[in-house]
Chains A and B, each alone.
Chain A
Amino acid sequence: MKALMFGWEFPPHILGGLGTASYGLTKGMWECGDMDITFVIPRPYGDEERHFANIVGMSQVPIAWRDVSRGYVEQRIGNLMSPDLYFALRDHIYADFNYMNTNDLGCLEFSGRYPDNLIEEINNYSICAGVVARTIECDVIHSHDWLTYPAGIHAKKVTGKPLVIHVHATDFDRSRGNVNPTVFGIEKDGMDNADHIITVSDLTRETVITKYGINPAKVTTVHNAVTPLSEELLNVEVTRPKEKVVTFLGRITMQKGPEYFVEAAAKVLKNNRNVRFVMAGSGDMMDKMITLAAERGIADRFHFPGFQKGKQVYEMLKASDVYVMPSVSEPFGISPLEAMQMGVPSIISKQSGCAEILTNVIKTDYWDIDAMADAINAIITYPALYNQLRRDGLDEVNRITWDKAGQKVIDIYRKVINNR
Chain B
Amino acid sequence: MKAICFYFQIHQPFRLKRYRFFDIGNDHYYYDDFLNDEIVSRIAARSYIPAAETLLRMIEQTGGKFRCALSVTGTALEQFEQYVPEFIDLLKKLADTGKVEFLAETYAHSLVSLTDQDEFAAQVKAHDEKIMQLFGVKPKVLRNTELIFCDDMAGLIYGMGYKGCITEGAKHILGWKSPNYVYASAGCPKLKLLLKNSKLSDDIAFRFSNTEWDSYPLTADKYIGWIADTPAEEQIVNLFMNLETFGELHPQQTGIFQFLEALPRFAAERGIEFWTPSEAIGKLKPVAELSVLHPISWADEARDTSAWLGNELQNEAFRKLYSVAERVRLAEDRRLKQDWNYLQASDHFFYMSTKHMADGDVHSHFSPYETPFQAFTNYMNVLADFIVRVEEQYPLSIENEELNALLTTIRNQAREIEMLNKEAASMRLDIEHLNEEHRLRKPEGEEKAKADKKPAAAKRKTSKTKKA
Residue numbers of A with Cβ under 8 A of B are: 267, 270-271, 359-360, 362-363, 370, 373-375, 377-378, 381-385, 387-389, 391-392
Contacts and interface: CB of A to CB of B under 8 A. Distances in A.
Of A374, A377, A383, A392, most B-chain CB atoms within 10 Å: A374
A388 B370 CA distance: 17
A347 B311 CA distance: 20
Given A383-B316, A385-B313, A377 B21 contact: yes
Contact of B22 (A271, A383, A387, A391): A271
Interface in B299-314: 311-313
Band of interface residues on B: 20 to 34
B206 interface: no
9 contacts: A359-B357, A359-B371, A374-B377, A378-B373, A382-B377, A384-B312, A384-B315, A384-B317, A388-B312
Contacts of B377: 362, 374-375, 378, 382, 385
B92 interface: no
A381 B373 CA distance: 13
B23 to A, nearest CB: 9
A382 B20 contact: no
B142 interface: no
A388 B313 contact: yes
Given A362-B374, A374-B20, A384 B381 contact: no
A168 B399 CA distance: 58
B313 A381 contact: no
A385 B384 CA distance: 15
Given A359-B357, A384-B376, A389-B373, A378 B21 contact: yes
A382 B376 contact: yes
A370 B22 CA distance: 9
B381 A378 contact: yes
A152 to B, nearest CB: 38
Nearest to A392: B354
| 6 cross-chain pairs, A with B, having the tightest CB-CB distances, nearest first | A384-B316, A378-B377, A377-B21, A388-B312, A374-B20, A384-B312
Interface string B291-335: 000000000000000000001110111000000000000000000
A337 B312 CA distance: 22
Nearest to A272: B21
Given A384-B313, A384-B317, A363 B370 contact: yes
B316 A382 contact: yes
Of A267, A270, A382, A383, most B-chain CB atoms within 10 Å: A382
A112 to B, nearest CB: 41
A360 B313 CA distance: 13
Contacts of B21: 271, 373-374, 377-378, 381
B55 interface: no
Interface string B15-36: 0000011101000000000000
A344 to B, nearest CB: 15
Contacts of B312: 384, 387-388, 391
A329 to B, nearest CB: 20
B239 interface: no
A111 to B, nearest CB: 44
A116 to B, nearest CB: 44
A359 B370 CA distance: 11
A392 B358 CA distance: 14
Contacts of A387: 312
A267 B21 CA distance: 10
Nearest to A384: B316
A378 B374 CA distance: 9
Contacts of A382: 316, 376-377, 380
A365 to B, nearest CB: 11
Given A381-B21, A392-B354, A363 B376 contact: no
A359 B354 CA distance: 9
Contacts of B376: 378, 382, 384-385
B364 to A, nearest CB: 11
Nearest to A383: B316
A363 B377 CA distance: 13
Contacts of B374: 362
A383 B373 CA distance: 12
A392 B352 CA distance: 14
Contacts of B315: 384
Given A378-B377, A382-B376, 10 more contacts: A359-B356, A359-B371, A370-B20, A375-B373, A378-B373, A384-B315, A384-B317, A384-B376, A391-B312, A392-B354
Contacts of B317: 384
A388 B316 CA distance: 11
A381 B316 CA distance: 12
Nearest to B383: A382
Given A271-B21, A378-B381, A381-B21, A362 B373 contact: yes
A373 B373 contact: no
Contacts of A388: 311-313, 354, 373
A383 B316 CA distance: 9
A74 to B, nearest CB: 56
Given A270-B22, A392-B354, A363 B371 contact: yes
Contacts of A383: 316
A271 B24 CA distance: 10
Contact of A267 (B22, B316, B371): B22
A337 B400 CA distance: 44
B373 to A, nearest CB: 5
Contacts of A270: 22
Interface in B327-380: 354, 356-357, 370-371, 373-374, 376-377, 380
Nearest to B319: A384
B447 to A, nearest CB: 86
Contacts of B313: 384-385, 388
A359 B355 CA distance: 11
Of B24, B316, B377, B381, most A-chain CB atoms within 10 Å: B377
Contacts of A377: 21
Nearest to A267: B22
Contacts of A267: 22
Nearest to A382: B380
Interface in B1-56: 20-22, 24
Nearest to A374: B20
Of B21, B317, B374, most A-chain CB atoms within 10 Å: B21
A385 B22 contact: no
A200 B356 CA distance: 25
Contacts of B357: 359
Nearest to A361: B373
A394 to B, nearest CB: 14
A374 B19 CA distance: 9
A267 B20 CA distance: 11
Contact of B373 (A271, A370, A385, A391): A385
Nearest to B357: A359
A388 B380 CA distance: 15
Contacts of A391: 312
A381 to B, nearest CB: 7
A267 B22 CA distance: 8
B320 to A, nearest CB: 9
Contact of B380 (A360, A373, A378): A378
Nearest to A359: B357
A362 B381 contact: no
Contacts of B316: 382-385
A34 to B, nearest CB: 33
